[in-house]
Amino acid sequence: MKTIQINAVNRGDFGKKAAKAVRREGLIPCVLYGGGENVTFAIDTKAVKPLIYTPNSYIVEINIDGKVEKAVMRDVQFHPVREQILHIDFYRVQEGKPVSISIPVRLSGNAEGVKVGGKLALSARKLVVSGMVENLPDELVVDVTPLNVGQTIFVGDLKFDNLKFITPATTAVCAVRVTRASRGAAAAQ
């Protein structure tokens, strides 16, 4: 899995008043939790853009005043009107323990149903999986070649080594939808 490095500044004060003061300085208040004590820190707004505004998932190496912590991003809070990031939660990655993270889905192949006029629809752009950090892929590649018109691939149908799906098994990943062209082709046969 890809990693990204971010420099951070430790902040001693926490709470609403301290968070507003951090935001006035152009920084984003953050917290790192899990596997030990919680750490509050602040990140520069520009440093976090490649992490948030991307479809990819990353393991984040946070350098907090010289101490490097590995983490995954758990939650991002945005301002309801402006596109301003208010707060970010990170979860610490621990050696020997599985981590859950959402990983993007990529479809591969040419579905049989599309060849006869159906339309391929991706329903789940990301799926939440759990696994060891060294076993996490950059993306989940799903082969859609055997799909006919009206068929769907569910999370329960997917099998990946060393990964456990947290997303419910009944969640649809992709489907080939019926179109007027595919109905016409079926009626002509």
Q: What mean pLDDT comes out for the span 145-169?
A: 91
Q: Residue 14 pLDDT more than 80?
A: no
Q: Residue 134's pLDDT band (boundaries 50, 70, 90)?
A: confident
Q: Which long-range contacts (CB under 8 A, 24 or more apart) does 150-159 make?
A: 150/113, 150/118, 150/175, 150/176, 150/177, 150/178, 151/113, 151/175, 151/176, 152/176, 155/124, 155/127
Tell me the residue range of the domain where 177 lies: 100-188
Q: Residue 1's pLDDT band (boundaries 50, 70, 90)?
A: confident
Residues 112 and 72 in one domain: no
What local confidence, expressed as pLDDT, does residue 186 receive?
A: 63
What local confidence, expressed as pLDDT, does residue 174 receive?
A: 93
Residues 105 and 181 in one domain: yes
Out of 78, 94, 110, pick the residue that ends a domain.
Answer: 94
CATH number for 142: 2.170.120.20
CA 121 – CA 113 distance, rounded (Å): 11
Q: What mean pLDDT comes out for the span 12-40?
A: 85
For residue range 55-102, list pLDDT tens digits in order.
888 889 999 888 898 999 888 999 999 888 999 999 999 888 898 899
CATH number for 44: 2.40.240.10
